[in-house]
Amino acid sequence: MKSLREISLFIAVVCMVVFIGAGCSDDTIVTYVDSIPGASQSQVESFFPLSSGYTTIYNVSYQSSGTSEIVTFRAGDKEQFQSVELTPWYGFSNSTADTGYFYTSANALYYMKHLGDSPDKVLEFPLSIGSSWDSDGNDDIYTDIITGEEDSLGTGGGIYGKTFPTISAVQYIISEIDGVTLENGVFYSKAVLVSTYNGNKTNYYWYVNGVGLVRYVIGATEVSFPNGDVVGELVQYGY
């Protein structure tokens, strides 16, 4: 008969083999991966939910003024525009409001500030470290997010130059897929970090499956990273 010590040792070895071969069922322990496959509209929307009523609330801080505010985004009912199914994307902050639009293809997520604008491809599958894509957008109105100047087409200026903190970048690139911890202590595993360089500073976006955009940094430098001119962190999401 095997001793209790031998049985315990055997169980420990089996557990170690299972852990090494298959990982841990709690993905907060093993988070780093090289890629996340997928090439369907449902997979795209799993990293940026667009179901009607889905709401994300961010605490957004501005380095230049030392101030912060709560910014809320909500997906509206889908509508047709030139044979494309769009999702209105509403943004609210204090007494201001604005509307942008998202749509998905089989493998990508696109954003438009206004109907008919050149779309900005903000996410493309498969999500693999080092993969990159052209933004396909050509909208320089983004500069008002950095300067805080009033956007002539917006209602609130500042971050409300757009209802999504995007930029007229040449390329986006997936920098890493790893865990990210927010300032409030909330941890997300397997966050996809997308970066884009505008010739002066870099912008970063962290996406999480089933949640969406959990953190973004606008106007980061090597010194300021992981912070920048504007930092938004998710504080609440759902319906």
Instruction: Specify the number of domains making up the chain.
Output: 2
As a whole number of angstroms, the distance between CA 54 and CA 40 comes to 20
Shared domain check, 136 and 106: yes
Shared domain check, 129 and 69: yes
Question: What CATH number is attached to the domain comprising 75?
Answer: 2.40.360
Shared domain check, 163 and 48: yes
Query: 224: domain range?
Result: 31-238
Shared domain check, 140 and 44: yes
- pLDDT tops 90 at residue 115: no
Shared domain check, 77 and 59: yes
Residue type, 129: I
As a whole number of angstroms, the distance between CA 54 and CA 44 comes to 15
Shared domain check, 58 and 3: no
Shared domain check, 58 and 21: no
Decide if 166 contacts 205 (C-beta within 8 A).
Answer: no
Shared domain check, 123 and 8: no
Residue 2: predicted pLDDT: 44
Shared domain check, 52 and 22: no
Residues 109-135 have a mean pLDDT of 89
- Per residue in 22-69, pLDDT (tens digit) is 333 333 323 345 556 555 678 899 999 999 999 999 999 988 888 999
Shared domain check, 71 and 43: yes
As a whole number of angstroms, the distance between CA 3 and CA 109 comes to 59
- Per residue in 70-98, pLDDT (tens digit) is 999 999 999 998 888 999 999 998 768 88
Q: DSSP for the chain? A: ---HHHHHHHHHHHHHHHHHHH--SSTTTS---SEE---SHHHHHHHS--STT-EEEEEEEETTTTEEEEEEEEE---EEETTEEEEEEEEEETTEEEEEEEEE-SSEEEEESSTTSPPEEEEESSEETT-EEE-----GGGHHHHH-PPPTTSSS-GGGG-SS-----SEEEEEEEEEEE-TTS-EEEEEEEEEEE-SS-EEEEEEETTTEEEEEEEEE-TTTTT--SEEEEEEEEE-
pTM score, two decimals? 0.75
Shared domain check, 35 and 17: no
The partner residues of 26 in beta bridges, in order of sequence, read none
Nearest to 162 by CA among 171, 175, 153: 153
Which residues touch 215 (CB under 8 Å, ≥6 apart)? 180, 182, 191, 204, 205, 206, 231, 232, 233, 234
Residue 45: predicted pLDDT: 94
Shared domain check, 96 and 41: yes
